[in-house]
Chains A and B, each alone.
Chain A
Amino acid sequence: GNSVTQMEGPVTLSEEAFLTINCTYTATGYPSLFWYVQYPGEGLQLLLKATKADDKGSNKGFEATYRKETTSFHLEKGSVQVSDSAVYFCALTIQGAQKLVFGQGTRLTINP
């Protein structure tokens, strides 16, 4: 089946630290991969995406590379800010289907 496994949280970092949130997947077809971010009390916002192997998605200083050989899509940021505190979800869709399959989410807290 199709599934997404994320690094367990919560993750707490100091401002300007380097961030990695691990995400691995299993898929029966050719997935598109997404990172969504959820700020407190809000819905999800698309952070970045990659639709084929070796693509790199990037936005707001965050990056993730679609690694087919390791079935991974790890989220990274070189220097986090307090405003990055949120819950981050890794997700996939399979070609020909539109349903999103989500990981369980990783809560990130950045301390000043």
Chain B
Amino acid sequence: DGGITQSPKYLFRKEGQNVTLSCEQNLNHDAMYWYRQDPGQGLRLIYYSQIVNDFQKGDIAEGYSVSREKKESFPLTVTSAQKNPTAFYLCASSTQGASNQPQHFGDGTRLSIL
């Protein structure tokens, strides 16, 4: 079945440590996105990529980095510069150039600080 796979489901970070969240899709979508979800809030866009080897900052990019070396993969690194990383992180993908098409979401990674 086609879909988006995020791993791990739960992740713990020590102070001063960088961690990387994985996102893989087999939907043949060009565009991919990373969102952060905090309790009682909507989703906020961290980074997005519309094509391989290109990506743009979203609304809350500080303390995060991404890469897009393959169409299927869009990993997110939470760096030590992100002072409040505890949140639920969601990856999504969509057809490129079609704003009326929905985004498809993974099941998320919950990141906590040790």
Known: A42-B108, A51-B100. A104 touches B50 (CB 8 A): no
Do the beta carbons of A42 and B107 come within 8 Å of each other? yes
- For residue B25, give the distance in angstroms from its CB to the closest CB of chain A: 12
- For residue B110, give the distance in angstroms from its CB to the closest CB of chain A: 8
Give every chain A residue within 8 A of B6 (Cβ-Cβ).
43
Q: Which of A90-104 contact B (CB under 8 A)?
A: 93-100, 102-104
- In the assembly, what is the distance between CA of A93 and CA of B33, in Å? 14
Do the beta carbons of A43 and B108 come within 8 Å of each other? yes
The interface bits of chain B over 67-99 (1 if a CB of A lies within 8 angstroms of the residue's CB, else 0) are 000000000000000000000001010101111
The interface bits of chain B over 47-75 (1 if a CB of A lies within 8 angstroms of the residue's CB, else 0) are 01010000000100000000000000000
- In the assembly, what is the distance between CA of A51 and CA of B44, in Å? 22
Do the beta carbons of A105 and B41 come within 8 Å of each other? yes
The interface bits of chain A over 78-99 (1 if a CB of B lies within 8 angstroms of the residue's CB, else 0) are 0000000000010001111111
Count contacts on B: residues with CB < 8 A to the other chain. Answer: 28
- For residue A55, give the distance in angstroms from its CB to the closest CB of chain B: 10
Partner of B105, one of A41, A45, A49, A98: A45
Do the beta carbons of B58 and A99 come within 8 Å of each other? yes
Do the beta carbons of B40 and A97 come within 8 Å of each other? no
Is residue A44 contacting chain B, with contact meaning CB distance below 8 A? yes
Is residue A32 contacting chain B, with contact meaning CB distance below 8 A? yes
Give every chain B residue within 8 A of A104 (Cβ-Cβ).
40-42
Query: Interface residues, chain B, CB within 8 Å of chain A?
Result: 4, 6, 31, 33, 40-45, 48, 50, 58, 90, 92, 94, 96-100, 102-108
